[in-house]
Structure 1
């Protein structure tokens, strides 16, 4: 059923059904996602605050980490509050344009997260392969331009999703079996041909994810070659340890993403639909939740900066 604009085959709103087949368990499903969201917001905001206030962390690696944290907290905020409203208050209606806006930000920010991980891999490549030129290569203007170029790339490649989806006729119902507006979930509600949407979706995934994974792979191949040429075992261990947290972040981000893609492409008929929906939500929630924990545990400078900042604030409060 369509909203007021049904004459133009454009619905006034969509109905997000949450997790189809598990409506009775919506409250229980919401609890871990709510907990993960709280951790993600506190952890990522904490990292951004720490990097901005600790002068020792004003280095390229941590600027990219701050950008990753900002992307993560923004990404989960575009979906989780709306999802919790569906689960807790049964507020399933979303305006057509608001749905398109959410779809744009979800895909743009996931692309941005992939791009930032690629930039962080290049940062590690320069730091390990060209240590003496590290500060002269990765200057603040270069970092700003790289971040802006990554953002611009995602915006340019994802904007067509909005127009390709908006042009479709919606003459069936307006129920979306999902917790948020995903490109293909919205397109499949249409009664029109979505072949162009499918092809462009795969093309955008290759141009963003495929390119970033290729750059990350080349960067770490070069890093591995350089590290293996080091004569000192301590030097090799130190070089590898600087990459540990970033490699964990790559695994956390890309494994759920690839699992989601392959289950959709090859396991659509064998895997229940509610599994697809839960995985799609975990794909958006796991990186923002786990990245601050990984970097907090694995990165010595982050731990030291956090302790220093904590005790400094504690001393200030004591003096007052």
Structure 2
């Protein structure tokens, strides 16, 4: 007797923004505008930094990495949200869902790592200005970039197998626009403690560690700044860090909230619309905000963008 084994593909369904389904077309407007700005702006920024030798400095090369991560993060999420809002395309297979959450989480960890090395860059520039170029060489920057890539994708790789081993038998409706590791695991009828604790380990060993090291970097920077005798010099030095601090707060705040709340009891008491709004903020805001803060406020980049239609030797 021949036994036929039938494999059923698992599908999930997105709600979008719960309770606001009739407003999806209007909600899609800021999503679409943000994506266009992020796509065009960050692509232009990467092009300018890579093609202008005058910008082949550590700060701009790290900014180029950040723009690349922003492009990946926004492209992994916003087109799908727009498909839900515009075409009611709510269905997603398990494999597509795992692929999406893998790239979302990996890119989030990458951005965290890049923000950490940008804090390190500011620390070296302020505390050891005379040794800045000898410490942050192009070779070291390349190694840092590879390390960030390997750390982010390497730590998330086991998640693929941790999710693929599960059997799904519960509700398969996402009250949001994107897939998330623990949210998918909770649809399973199996024991998901390994998923929970591995996800928690990844957060502690990457994002949480980055936040601590960034905090330490800025404490050291502040100590160095307040030793500068001139008030004008202190103000100018602090100004160079202001933009980075703003991006850090707006990047980590909603992102950590979205990552941690599903794991603890208080996450169940937060209204869906607030949780989902903040979950989308860390997708929408950084790709656009980073561009505005670093691209437009940085004098060298601003001048190159202005003269781009009329090239001249800079």
Report the TM-score, using the length of structure 1 for normalisation. 0.90
Tell me, yes or no, if structure 1 residue 47 matches structure 2 residue 45. yes
Which residue among 133, 136, 143 is the counterpart of 2:134?
136
The corresponding residue for 1:282 is: 281
What CA distance in whole angstroms lies between the structure 2 residues aligned with 1:124 and 1:77?
29
The corresponding residue for 1:192 is: 190
The corresponding residue for 1:157 is: 155
The corresponding residue for 2:23 is: 25
Equivalent position SS for 1:94: strand
After superposition, the Cα gap between the structure-2 partners of 1:6 and 1:46, relative to the gap in structure 1 and judged at 3 Å, is farther
After superposition, the Cα gap between the structure-2 partners of 1:269 and 1:211, relative to the gap in structure 1 and judged at 3 Å, is closer
Q: Is 2:112–2:210's contact at 8 Å kept on the other side of the alignment?
A: yes
Which residue among 203, 215, 218 is the counterpart of 1:217?
215
Task: Report the Cα offset of residue 96 of structure 1.
Answer: 1.8
Over residues 234-272 of structure 1, what are the superposed CA-to-partner deviations in whole Å (9 max), with x where a residue is unaligned?
322222222122112111211222343565446434322
Task: Report the Cα offset of residue 28 of structure 1.
Answer: 1.7
The corresponding residue for 2:299 is: 300
Q: Is 2:35–2:78's contact at 8 Å kept on the other side of the alignment?
A: yes
After superposition, the Cα gap between the structure-2 partners of 1:108 and 1:262, relative to the gap in structure 1 and judged at 3 Å, is closer
What CA distance in whole angstroms lies between the structure 1 residues aligned with 2:55 and 2:248?
21
Matches within 5 A, 1:81-230: 81-230=79-228
What CA distance in whole angstroms lies between the structure 1 residues aligned with 2:54 and 2:10?
52
Point out where structure 1 has 5 or more consecutive residues left out of the alignment. 316-320
Q: Is 1:13–1:95's contact at 8 Å kept on the other side of the alignment?
A: yes
Q: Is 1:178–1:185's contact at 8 Å kept on the other side of the alignment?
A: no
The corresponding residue for 1:318 is: none
Structure 1 stretch displaced more, 66-75 or 256-265: 256-265
Report the TM-score, using the length of structure 2 for normalisation. 0.91
What CA distance in whole angstroms lies between the structure 2 residues aligned with 1:215 and 1:6?
51
Q: CA RMSD in A?
A: 2.1
Task: Report the Cα offset of residue 282 of structure 1.
Answer: 1.3
Q: How many residue pairs end up in the alignment?
A: 309
